[in-house]
Structure 1
Amino acid sequence: MANAAIEIIDPSFRDLVHEDATLDVLYDGCKWAEGPVWFADGNFLVWSDIPNNRMLRWVPGLGVAPFRSPSNFVNGNTRDLQGRLVSCSHGARAVLRTEWDGTITTLVDSYGGKRLNSPNDVVVKSDGTIWFTDPPYGILSDYEGYKADQEQEGCFVYRFDPKDGSLSVVADDFDRPNGLAFSPDEKTLYISDTGEESAWPTPIRQFDVDGATLRNGRVFVTIDNGASDGFRLDTAGNIWTSTWEGVNVYTPSGTLLGRIRTGAKSSNVTFGGPDRKRLFITSSQYLMTIEVQAKGIQRP
């Protein structure tokens, strides 16, 4: 346990994170931690350790235990409206669903007759549709997937409807789309583009959601301290995004309120705990947590 390096940029950040808040390391044995997802009904957190080809579970008071190994190089995770785990698998180059009996269903693994690149992050909308990004990170080498040729003509953002099995491209002008999340009212979808390091600083873009399509894409913010790998929103619409220094927090209008410096490259965040005011951070080899004063969006 240690005091987090809380950087106050806007005074209102004090309403979201206490300056004396402590940062707890819950686990430090990962190679690259990713994809945290909170199970409120089970009071536990699941996350991915991609290069180690496994998923782990943390339970308050009990600690960390294996969840799935091998995981087929799962990266991002979320839950559908029925509470089932939905995961992006680099190894399968697919979006997978874990059924209640533990069996794994492949929801989608191809588009236009060609294999997907390596699905990365995923969110579920309130209508049950599944939106996910598909950069090539899992096929660039054998480190967090299986090295393979890219079959798709680009790195797209997709919308999958499990009701009819339809898959559509909703954004096709990204270099390497990565994290994504809806605003509280689902009228806006935020998507990060991690791209090549030579092209940094990298943006988070925002789109107007018009049914099954996205319109009016524009830059929301530009990340000046690394890349926005993954992010989640609180109920006020503030964006809590990973960076190479920890976590940046922005208002819905794009004002940087402050930073939580973790001392390691962060990949993703999620809110959890009984009141959804506990921020979990996957950061390099660590799973970390800090109590905040904002309440996260939790779906379901």
Structure 2
Amino acid sequence: MKKLAYHSFFAIVVLMLSHCKTEKKEPSVTGQEAPKAVTIFEEGEIEAYDESLWSIVPKESKIEVIAQGHDWTEGPLWLPDQEMLLYTDIPRNAIYSWKEGEEAKLYLQPSGFMGENFEGSEPGANGLLLNGEGKLVLCQHGDRQLALMQSPVMEPSANYKTLARAFKGKRFNSPNDAVYKSDGDLYFTDPPYGLPQQMDDPNKELDYQGVYRLSQEGELTLLTTEFTRPNGIAFSPDEKKLYVANSDPELAIWKVFDVMEDGSIRNGKLFYDVTQLVPNEKGLPDGLKVDNDGNLFATGPGGVFIFSPEGKVMGKIKTGQATSNCAFNKEKTTLYITADSYVLKVTLKS
């Protein structure tokens, strides 16, 4: 999601004030500045609304800082074979990498816009994921496309192949987040956050913000246009449900759909509504992930909500920051969180 892309003036002011409170430093990309010791994120806390939370997050868990000083972090992705985290800094048009015991390093630049003199504030890649062959797929804001990095993940280069960039001849707005189904089909959202003037941008070609499916054969299908700002997207463990976040301050919700055998989605229902929280807490529904038991870890106002599959809020990882996205490690015993200028981690139950 775009950091300053909220649809209301009030939300923009809130985010601007949050910057005034946060001392930002240049992220360490040379290994000379960031400490290797664990730093506790004192501004945050883990709050239980139901005792069931402690079966997912140990009571002794703390929110830890693993990187800071960025402009706006997004797209966390765990690379299991390398035991390494990737994440994006969208305004810097860059991707960074992090390993346990090491500092964050610049991984790839440019990440989402290959041209010059981008007029907006969000040129870089947003969501990141791996395809079935272990190659990096990027939701590129600036170039308004889904792209594949053609080099191996441990030999990164800004050499991209377009996977999809238009629907029926009209350019996407700015692909934001995506998820692979086990059959190789790619589902993704397309809000306007990467466009310099967003909804009013003269280069906006579509009159809606869609959710799409790109089949492994390359067929592109529009699944729904019902969202004003479709954002985070994830499947239930059995892939029979698809969750989609809507990052509109006037309708800050998550919806859940039934996934049909042909890959389409039906029977969209409200999963949870946090619109009433938006005036008082930073952030909107954004990235989300689902654990093996079907619990949702969904970024929203104030941090990361932890929902049961039935939509009960068990607790919240309160960051005090506008929180964009999250990702698990391979075993789903660690949650990585991108929040404003920070990258955080929380230990989960094994």
Q: TM-score, normalised by structure 2?
A: 0.78
* Aligned CA distance change for structure 1 residues 106 and 148 (closer, same or farther; 3 Å): farther
- Is the 2:69–2:341 Cα contact (8 Å) retained in structure 1? yes
Residue 204 (str. 1) matches residue 254 (str. 2):
yes
Quote the residue 1:259 is aligned against.
316
- Is the 1:107–1:162 Cα contact (8 Å) retained in structure 2? no
User: Where does structure 1 differ by over 6 angstroms across 4 or more consecutive aligned residues?
Assistant: none
Residue 148 of structure 1, CA deviation: 4.8
AA paired with 1:178? N
Residue 54 (str. 1) matches residue 105 (str. 2):
no
- Is the 1:140–1:148 Cα contact (8 Å) retained in structure 2? no
- Is the 1:225–1:243 Cα contact (8 Å) retained in structure 2? no
Quote the residue 1:82 is aligned against.
133
- Is the 2:67–2:343 Cα contact (8 Å) retained in structure 1? yes
Quote the residue 1:20 is aligned against.
60
Cα distance between partner residues in 1 of 2:211 and 2:92: 26
Aligned pair partner of 1:189 in 231, 242, 265: 242
Aligned pair partner of 1:280 in 336, 340, 343: 336
Cα distance between partner residues in 2 of 1:85 and 1:148: 31
Cα distance between partner residues in 1 of 2:194 and 2:314: 33
Residue 70 of structure 1, CA deviation: 1.6
Residue 67 (str. 1) matches residue 104 (str. 2):
no
Who wins on radius of gyration, i.e. which is larger?
Answer: 2
Quote the residue 1:230 is aligned against.
287
Quote the residue 1:172 is aligned against.
225
Structure 1: any 5+ residue segments left out of the alignment? 295-300
Residue 140 of structure 1, CA deviation: 3.6
Aligned residue pairs: how many? 285
Per the alignment, in what secondary structure is the counterpart of residue 53 of structure 2?
A: helix
Cα distance between partner residues in 1 of 2:90 and 2:307: 28
Q: Deviations over 1:139-193 (max 9, x none)?
A: 0449xxxx65210120000000132x21010111111100000000000000011
Q: Deviations over 1:208-236 (max 9, x none)?
A: 00022100011011125442111001000
* Aligned CA distance change for structure 1 residues 148 and 89 (closer, same or farther; 3 Å): farther
Residue 79 of structure 1, CA deviation: 1.2
Per the alignment, in what secondary structure is the counterpart of residue 54 of structure 2?
A: helix
AA paired with 2:174? S
- Is the 2:291–2:332 Cα contact (8 Å) retained in structure 1? no
Residue 149 (str. 1) matches residue 206 (str. 2):
no
Cα distance between partner residues in 2 of 1:97 and 1:175: 27
Cα distance between partner residues in 2 of 1:86 and 1:63: 24
More strand by share: 1
Per the alignment, in what secondary structure is the counterpart of residue 336 of structure 2?
A: strand
- Is the 1:182–1:189 Cα contact (8 Å) retained in structure 2? yes
Quote the residue 2:302 is aligned against.
245
Aligned pair partner of 2:214 in 137, 140, 160: 160
Cα distance between partner residues in 2 of 1:169 and 1:30: 34
AA paired with 2:45? A
Residue 91 (str. 1) matches residue 147 (str. 2):
no
- Is the 2:78–2:85 Cα contact (8 Å) retained in structure 1? yes
Cα distance between partner residues in 2 of 1:131 and 1:206: 14
AA paired with 1:290? V
AA paired with 2:270? V
Residue 133 (str. 1) matches residue 189 (str. 2):
yes
Residue 29 of structure 1, CA deviation: 1.7
Residue 99 of structure 1, CA deviation: 2.6
- Is the 2:46–2:62 Cα contact (8 Å) retained in structure 1? no
Q: TM-score, normalised by structure 1?
A: 0.91
Residue 269 (str. 1) matches residue 326 (str. 2):
yes
AA paired with 1:155? Q
- Is the 2:146–2:163 Cα contact (8 Å) retained in structure 1? yes
